Amino acid sequence: MPLSLYNTLGRKIETFTPVHEGKVGFYGCGPTVYNYAHIGNLRAYVTHDILVRTLRRFGYDVTHVMNVTDVGHLSGNDDTGDDKMLKSAEERGKSVLEVAAYYTEAFFKDTERLRIRRPDIVCKATEHIEDMITLIKRIEAAGFTYSAGGNLYFNIAKFPHYGELSGPKPDEQKTQARTEIDGNKRNQGDFVLWFTRSKFENQALTWDSPWGRGYPGWHIECSAMSMKYLGEQFDIHSGGIDHIQIHHTNEIAQSEAGTGKHPWVKYWVHNEFLVFDKEKMSKSAGSFITLQNLVEMGFDPLDYRYFLLGGHYRNQIKFSVDSLKGARNARKSLLSTLRLVGEKAKTAGPGGVSEDSVRAHVEAFDTALEDDLNTPRALSALWGLVKDCGVPPKAALEAAFGMDRVLGLDLEGCLHGAAASGGMDAAEVESFVAERAAAKAAKNFARADEIRNTLKERGVVLEDGPGGTVWRYG
Ligand code: AMP
Ligand code: ZN
């Protein structure tokens, strides 16, 4: 079965055929670095990671590009609201660039903890202003712009394919969402390519341009940077579903207007939202959970990764601490099962991945991924493999580690962590943890500390939280 992906452009599952055989150019919209990423944002990057790892498993030579937005993103996405970076800098009493540097580092710390591979190219908007200006000039020369009130706007009425990505009646939906009317716009769907005097007199970062000193609109950065690194037409572009209506729709319009080439991007892959109490988790609303919050609650970041893999990227996932605990238990039990397989492999004879008994599981795994990145089914294939006593343990271990190169659960590292702990298995650790809880309840703190130290020496870290003690191989 060939790899198929749901393409938002056309709204159907399509067989994936790259623009250039064997190669894939992939651009995933990156973070706006005015605050920590919340766990909903991180779902988007886990989705990108699974996509890239899957493409690589199937032999594609992938170039993954991601931007870092450090200028021009307004809270309304459609040129309405506050400038996110500016507002954050003012609130924190820092410069925009200081805020950007701090949250960019925090973002990569989170993605590393989630074992999200760093994109091949990470590009900052503020370092690509010249590329944006060059593209805007092309769009202007092609007749798609007008100036009003000091801004340069993209005129959507001139672009016949406008709104194809967002589906029927995009204007109606957009009008409902809009909170401010910009009197300079000929059509409220028009968007700013370059700001000079319109909204933020106190804009911290400005550049000279043919339209005056100012700064770029948000959408143009993704068009300019993706084309710089991936060429004028490339394979896959992705982001969360909230980007379909405005950001990606506008990216397509300006890119195709500038180059005259259609389609700009072949496949559009959008992840659904992680929701919290039926509402979407939102950074700008200020109410959000970070990965660090989960760690402080005693979870391993990989518990969260496992939790996300348990849902298909195109389905909404409801977040709750209970369901995350369920994922943690499942991951622990996967590791214990795998540890047993590892024990058996030490004494068992050989058995390669080509064995029929293994092949069925590997095929189930690959078919699940080929079917629009179905990670819940891929996880079940992994489970089927590790629980199948008919598979020679060495072959099972090898195949499981191979699957994990896509799932990214660091199975091998976790098992080695166990080995480094003097082979202490989960059951043994649990019994120490229970004994320590009893010692603490009996106010025998000396014994409780002794147990903590013993475990530490054997590579097991304990973390006490409101929900009790959790442990991990350190
Ligand atoms: P931002 O930093 O706000 O530009 O968002 C980064 C990425 O996270 C984008 O791809 C968004 O579409 C995505 N995103 C935002 N909120 C959520 C959510 N609650 N669940 C999943 N993805 C989200
Ligand atoms: Zn983007």
- Ligand 1: residue whose CA is nearest its atom 8: 41
Distance CA 291, CA 109 (A): 10
pLDDT given for residue 388 in this prediction: 95
Q: Is the predicted pLDDT of residue 6 greater than 70, yes or no?
A: yes
3-state secondary structure of 328: helix
Neighbours of 401 (CB within 10 A): 13
Distance CA 417, CA 460 (A): 8
Supply the DSSP symbol for 245.
I
pLDDT given for residue 329 in this prediction: 95
3-state secondary structure of 132: helix
Q: Is 31 in the pocket of ligand 1 (CB under 6 A)?
A: yes
pLDDT given for residue 176 in this prediction: 47
- Ligand 1: residue whose CA is nearest its atom 18: 40
- Ligand 1: residue whose CA is nearest its atom 15: 41
Q: Is the predicted pLDDT of residue 170 greater than 70, yes or no?
A: no
Supply the DSSP symbol for 118.
P
Q: Is 239 in the pocket of ligand 1 (CB under 6 A)?
A: yes
Range 83-87 average pLDDT: 81
**Could you confirm whether domain 291-420 is CATH 3.10.690.10?**
no
Identify the nearest ligand to the CA of 37 by its number: 1
265-294 pLDDT, tens digit per residue, is 999 999 999 997 655 555 555 458 999 999
Query: Is 80 or 406 the better-scoring residue by pLDDT?
Result: 406
Beta carbons of 382 and 279 less than 8 angstroms apart: no
Closest CA to 258 of 290, 284, 201, 220: 220
- Of 51-55, 84-88, 330-334, the range with the lowest mean pLDDT is 84-88
pLDDT given for residue 286 in this prediction: 45
- What's the longest Cα–Cα distance across the chain? 79
Q: Is the predicted pLDDT of residue 98 greater than 70, yes or no?
A: yes
Q: What is the pTM of this model?
A: 0.86
| CA dihedral sign of residues 226, 228, 230, 232 | positive
| Full DSSP string of 354-408 | TSHHHHHHHHHHHHHHHBT--HHHHHHHHHHHHH-TTS-HHHHHHHHHHHHHHH-
Q: Is the predicted pLDDT of residue 335 greater than 90, yes or no?
A: yes
Torsion of CA 123, 125, 129, 134, to 10 degrees: 70
Beta carbons of 304 and 39 less than 8 angstroms apart: yes
| Full DSSP string of 429-466 | HHHHHHHHHHHHHTT-HHHHHHHHHHHHHTTEEEEEET
- Of 34-48, 137-151, 184-198, the range with the lowest mean pLDDT is 184-198
31 Cα: distance to centroid of ligand 2 (angstroms): 9
Q: Is 87 in the pocket of ligand 1 (CB under 6 A)?
A: no
Range 441-462 average pLDDT: 85
Q: Is the predicted pLDDT of residue 95 greater than 90, yes or no?
A: no
- CATH 1.20.120.1910 residue spans of the chain: 291-420
Banded model confidence at residue 198, pLDDT cuts 50, 70, 90: low
Q: State the closest ligand 1 atom to the C-alpha of 273, by its place in the atom list counted from 1.
A: 20
| CA dihedral sign of residues 104, 412, 61, 271 | negative
Q: Which of 8, 73, 219, 242 to mutate to test ligand 1, by most ligand atoms within 8 A of the CB atom?
A: 242
pLDDT given for residue 43 in this prediction: 98
pLDDT given for residue 420 in this prediction: 54
pLDDT given for residue 281 in this prediction: 56
Beta carbons of 406 and 50 less than 8 angstroms apart: yes
Q: Is the predicted pLDDT of residue 462 greater than 50, yes or no?
A: yes
3-state secondary structure of 10: coil
19 Cα: distance to centroid of ligand 1 (angstroms): 27
226 Cα: distance to centroid of ligand 2 (angstroms): 9
- CATH 3.40.50.620 residue spans of the chain: 4-271
Q: State the closest ligand 1 atom to the C-alpha of 69, by its place in the atom list counted from 1.
A: 4
281 Cα: distance to centroid of ligand 1 (angstroms): 9
pLDDT given for residue 136 in this prediction: 98
Token code pair at residue 238:
């992705």
pLDDT given for residue 228 in this prediction: 98
Which residues have C-beta within 8 Å of that of residue 473, sequence separation ≥ 6? 414, 417, 418, 420, 421, 459, 460, 461
pLDDT given for residue 179 in this prediction: 59
pLDDT given for residue 451 in this prediction: 86
Q: Is 317 in the pocket of ligand 1 (CB under 6 A)?
A: no
Distance CA 223, CA 243 (A): 14
β-pairing verdict for 279-280 and 274-276 = antiparallel
Looking at the chain, the whole-number percentage of residues with pLDDT higher than 90 is: 68
Q: What's the fold here for domain 4-271?
A: Rossmann fold (3.40.50)
Let me know how long the chain is: 474
Banded model confidence at residue 91, pLDDT cuts 50, 70, 90: confident
Q: Is the predicted pLDDT of residue 424 greater than 50, yes or no?
A: yes
Neighbours of 439 (CB within 10 A): 17
pLDDT given for residue 473 in this prediction: 72
- Of 40-54, 90-104, 162-176, 311-325, the range with the lowest mean pLDDT is 162-176
3-state secondary structure of 2: coil
Query: Is 101 or 471 the better-scoring residue by pLDDT?
Result: 101
Query: Is 131 or 346 the better-scoring residue by pLDDT?
Result: 131
pLDDT given for residue 323 in this prediction: 95
Q: Is the predicted pLDDT of residue 104 greater than 60, yes or no?
A: yes
Distance CA 150, CA 143 (A): 18
Looking at the chain, the whole-number percentage of residues with pLDDT higher than 70 is: 90
379-420 pLDDT, tens digit per residue, is 999 999 999 999 999 999 999 999 999 999 999 999 887 655
Helices in 126-265 by DSSP H: which ranges?
Answer: 129-141, 170-177, 218-230, 249-259
